[in-house]
Amino acid sequence: MDVSLLPSEIAEAQSAFPAALAACADLDALNRLKGAYTGREASHAARMMDLLKAAPKEQKRDLGAAINAVKNAWDEAIKARQLELAAAKKAATWDPTLTPPMPPKGALHPLDRLMGRMTEAFRPLGYHIEEGPEIETAANNFDGLNIPEDHPARGSSDTFYLAAHPELLLRTHTSPVQVRVLARYGAKGADGVSLLEKKGGLRFLAPGRVYRKDEIDPTHSPMFHQIEGMLVGKGIGLHHLKGTLSYAMRALFGPDTKARFRPSYFPFVEPGCEMDVSCPLCAGKGCRVCKGSGWVEILGAGLIHPAVLSHAGIDAKVWSGFAFGMGVERTAMMVSQTPDLRLFFENDQRFLAAMGGLD
Ligand code: DAH
């Protein structure tokens, strides 16, 4: 900037400015400096404006530019120093005994927690957890479950088959775990006695991911979760199924929960049924979630089809049992009143936190 145009008193103030600014040790001192240099009245800036007004017309342009440049430089420098001093003040008042801001804590995903609660509901009844692979054989996913050759679920429009291994697929339900566990328990040991005979029966739950060729929409996803359950013993009938599931539903949804059973069809059970529970949200009075009916469908179940037992080498005249399969996402959507399934897979932290999954 061309300060040669400025009268000597302003030029002096200008050359003293850097040292005066550096000497401001706190915000009060800086404010005083600010007043003296750029204040509206009785400041160097005000004096410069007076000089400008009084200057001969032909000087006004150049003088005005010089004055502006000087004033702007002061303003900027003061602003910068202000930030410095404010930061220093904050640092000086830092209290090391305060709790520092913590990164959010991790937590189990809401679906994992619900699956935990669902399996927990059966724990007092002695059910243990079994697992099976997500890549299954068609034999376990369909054949061992008495699903006929021409069943539509076997088609490549419903089921993901592995391109390089057409006999392998992504399991379409957790029911193939039944086939695996029955084969293990049914096989005779070296002593000619099966695990099933040694233990006098079996009962397990198999939670896990399943896959179907469904378009993604608010109620469908090509991947979702199920929990399979199975019990094998002697003289097992529908009353055991009803008692077991009614008990677990009360543990899961509350002591007043009622269960009702409707006939249905699944190839691996006979008879087959679907179970509804009294709507956990309105206690059966009727609301939006249960569409006014007071009931919500929760699972498919039935008595194990003799063909499933004999497929595993188990004598269906001696042994009987029941099986059931529950949809996890459907239950999650219902209890959390989440209208869109996709929210459970997008991992938006705001949704997870609202579900109570983050601290
Ligand atoms: N696997 C069935 C499905 O994916 C659910 C099911 C129904 C499982 C009845 C069972 C059962 O064990 O007995 O829809």
49 secondary structure, DSSP code: H
Q: How far is the CA of 39 from the centre of ligand 1 (A)?
A: 81
Q: How far is the CA of 301 from the centre of ligand 1 (A)?
A: 6
| pLDDT number for residue 331 | 95
Sign of the alpha-carbon dihedral angle for 110, 111, 113, 114 = positive
Strands 202-211, 223-233: pairing kind: antiparallel
Alpha helices in 152-253 (DSSP H): 176-186, 195-199, 238-253
CB 176 within 8 A of CB 145: yes
Q: How far is the CA of 228 from the centre of ligand 1 (A)?
A: 7
Q: What is the pLDDT along the chain (359 residues), one digit of tens a residue?
A: 555 667 788 888 888 999 999 999 999 999 999 999 999 998 999 998 898 898 889 888 888 888 898 999 999 999 999 999 999 888 888 888 888 888 878 889 999 999 999 999 999 999 999 999 999 999 999 999 999 999 999 999 999 999 999 999 999 999 999 999 999 999 999 999 999 999 999 999 999 999 999 999 999 999 999 999 999 999 999 999 999 999 999 999 999 999 999 999 999 999 999 999 999 889 999 998 899 999 999 999 999 999 999 999 999 999 999 999 999 999 999 999 899 999 999 999 899 989 986 44
| pLDDT number for residue 357 | 62
Question: In 10 A of CB 220, how many CB atoms?
Answer: 13
Domain locations in the chain as residue ranges? 3-93, 110-358
Please give the number of the atom of ligand 1 that sits closest to the Cα of 210. Answer: 4
CB of 132 sitting under 6 A from ligand 1: no
One-letter amino acid of 165:
H
Torsion angles phi and psi, residue 299, rounded to 5: -165, 165
Please give the angle made by the CA atoms of 74, 75 and 80, to the nearest 5 degrees: 100
CB of 295 sitting under 6 A from ligand 1: no
| pLDDT number for residue 166 | 93
| pLDDT number for residue 359 | 44
Spell out the CATH class of 110-358: alpha beta
CB of 175 sitting under 6 A from ligand 1: yes
Residue 121 tokens, joined: 């509901």
173: nearest Cα among 118, 122, 212: 212
